[in-house]
Amino acid sequence: MTPFQENLARYAELLVRTGVNLPHGGKVRIVAPVEATELTRLVVRAAYRAGAADVRVTYSDPHLDLALFEDGSDDAVNFLPGWHAREREAMVEDGYASIAIVGEDPALLAGVNPTRVAARSKLAAQAMRRVSAATGSFQVNWTVAAMATPAWAARVYPDLPADEAVTRLWQDIFTVTRADQPDPVAAWAEHLARLERLTAFLNARQYAAVHLRSELGTDLLVGLAERHVWQGGAETARNGVRGVPNLPTDEVFTAPHRDRVDGWAVASKPLSARGQLIEGIRVRFEGGRAVELHAQRGEDTLRQLIGTDEGAAHLGEVALVPASAPVAQTGTLFLNTLFDENAASHIALGRCYPTNVQGGTDPEVLRAAGGNGDSLIHVDWMIGTPGTDVDGVTADGAREPLMRAGEWVVGSPSIRQQ
């Protein structure tokens, strides 16, 4: 095999063994772009080698959505059959793990009326609400990874010839997922242990808030939900399987208090959402709600995101990521949240993860703790920079440094080494 084929085979094995950690007799659903047949076939083989009882594959093509928005009627945009979500709901109930491979063109829908995109996105989110709730609460094990599609590579490396852009993007993917190492599974075990030590430290402290400040103008006091739980790296699903939801991942994250976020958040990277790029985001929060927002590009899309429902104007996640994380070290702006959120500390508009609150899978417990559990969206956007400082704020108002100049300053050297 060529070096590329060796890396691709290790990557496929990693998605099965580390991503969803598929047990013998397990079942898995794979969704992937139409260009991902080579990788998907390798993942299917890896799953059967792991003892899978069933593997189901669904290929996606975002150009079909583009056709709907450009040539479909308003009635077509606003129609989904009643059975749309039933198969996915049944698969979750039957314990199917999920491997999602992404690689969409981040600006495919840039020329489309954002109102039509917003209407379709809300309709789809409503139809998939039960599936989203089940995956968000880790009813089953799941993972999200990526592949280098030509359209995505062309956006990330616009100055390179098409073939070179795809090659470069694959190299970056292999690097940040550790698939290019001799034993990626072992490398991930070591990395996950570091994240586990860090979350243990933060959970023991139970800060009332974290305060983020950056040279770009972020000055944001994020109150944390009562009995909040910091997570990061591997997660144990309710089916008992411990997997890694995101490959790559370098974040530790928890649930903000719905009503206790104040100050300015200024984006450090563009956000790719609903097929469009949103740049230069500045949002002011007061009493937990976004009350003022600006964007240099894509402001209409941002306003429609925040206007999706009442919960969309509140935060559902705050995540801390060191500036030295592998994704950041590539120097690449991936225009894909899976990657860019692992290059910078970030926040998310919309619903929180119930697992970020003790007992949070009970909606009443989550609500009482201050978790923002009722929204159709969860949209991460990056605010961290190499100059970001983060303090933990205790219940009595004392401040303890967590990050300085974008790097961890708490715990042992083994924790700080990210």
In a domain, 35, yes or no: yes
Both 216 and 298 in a single domain?
yes
In this structure, are 42 and 163 located in the same domain?
Answer: yes
The mean-pLDDT minimum among 79-83, 196-200, 271-275, 386-390 falls in: 271-275
In a domain, 241, yes or no: no
* pLDDT value of position 418: 38
Region 36-41 average pLDDT: 97
The reply to whether 202 and 138 lie within a common domain is no
Q: What is the pLDDT of residue 274?
A: 83
Its domain, for residue 279, covers 184-235+246-416
How many CB atoms are closer than 10 A to CB 207? 23
Please list the alpha-helical segments (H only) found in 319-360. 326-329, 337-340
Classify strands 289-294 and 271-273 as parallel, antiparallel or unpaired.
unpaired
**pLDDT for the residue 411:** 58
C-alpha of 114 from chain center? 22
209 and 345 housed in the same domain = yes
240 occurs within a structural domain: no
Mean pLDDT (the chain, rounded)? 94
Top-confidence residue, 415 or 340: 340
H or E element at residue 290: strand 289-294
- State whether 172 and 189 are in the same domain: no
Look at residue 159 and tell me if it is in a domain.
yes
Residues 216 and 111 in one domain: no
Element (H, E) at 390: strand 389-393
- 43 part of a folded domain: yes
Q: What is the CATH number of the domain that holds 105?
A: 3.40.1830.10
In the chain, how many H helices and how many E strands?
15, 20
Residues 299 and 192 grouped into a single domain: yes
Q: Does residue 244 contact residue 19 with C-beta atoms inside 8 Å?
A: yes
Q: Which has the closest alpha carbon to 96: 51, 53, 60?
A: 53
pLDDT exceeding 70 applies to what percent of the chain? 98
Residues 6+ apart with CB under 8 A from 71: none
190-193 long-range contacts, CB within 8 A, separation 24+: 191/233, 192/233, 192/234, 192/244
Whether residue 301 lies inside any domain: the answer is yes
| Amino acid letter, residue 165 | A
Same domain, 161 and 215: no
* pLDDT tens sequence across 206-246: 999 999 999 999 999 999 999 999 999 999 999 999 999 99
> Looking at the structure, do residues 306 and 405 belong to the same domain, yes or no?
yes
Domain finish residue from 127, 145, 176: 176
The answer to whether the beta carbons of residues 363 and 129 sit under 8 Å apart is: no
What's the pLDDT tens digit per position in 301-356?
999 999 999 999 999 999 999 999 999 999 998 989 889 999 999 999 999 999 99
Residue 327 within a domain: yes
Q: Is the pLDDT of residue 4 over 80?
A: yes
Of the residues 157, 176, 195, the one at which a domain ends = 176
Q: Looking at residues 164-185, what average pLDDT do you find?
A: 95
Tell me how far CA of residue 396 lies from CA of 207, 208, 357, 368, in angstroms: 10, 9, 21, 21
Rounded mean pLDDT, 283-303:
96
Cα dihedral 158→161→165→171 (10° resolution):
-140
Same domain flag for 73 and 211: no
> What pLDDT is stored for residue 75 in this prediction?
97
Q: Is it the case that residue 201 has pLDDT exceeding 90?
A: yes
Residues 217, 85: one domain?
A: no
Q: Is there a single domain that holds both residue 132 and residue 109?
A: yes
Q: pLDDT by residue (tens digit) across 125-142? A: 999 999 998 888 889 999
pTM > 0.75: yes or no: yes
At 256, give phi and psi (nearest 5°).
-70, 160
**Final residue belonging to a domain, choices 160, 176, 192:** 176
pLDDT in tens, 235-265: 999 999 999 999 999 999 999 999 999 999 9
Find out whether the peptide bond into 248 is cis, omega within 30 degrees of 0: yes
Non-local (6+) Cβ contacts of 37 within 8 A are 59
Q: Is residue 236 helix, strand or coil?
A: strand
pLDDT at 65: 95
Measured CA to CA, the distance from residue 127 to residue 121 in angstroms comes to: 10
Domain count, the chain: 2
Tell me the residue type at 339.
Answer: F
Instruction: Round to whole Å and give the CA distance between 312 and 315.
Output: 7
> Which of the 8 DSSP states describes residue 181?
S
Residue 1 pLDDT grade (very low, low, confident, very high; cuts 50, 70, 90): confident
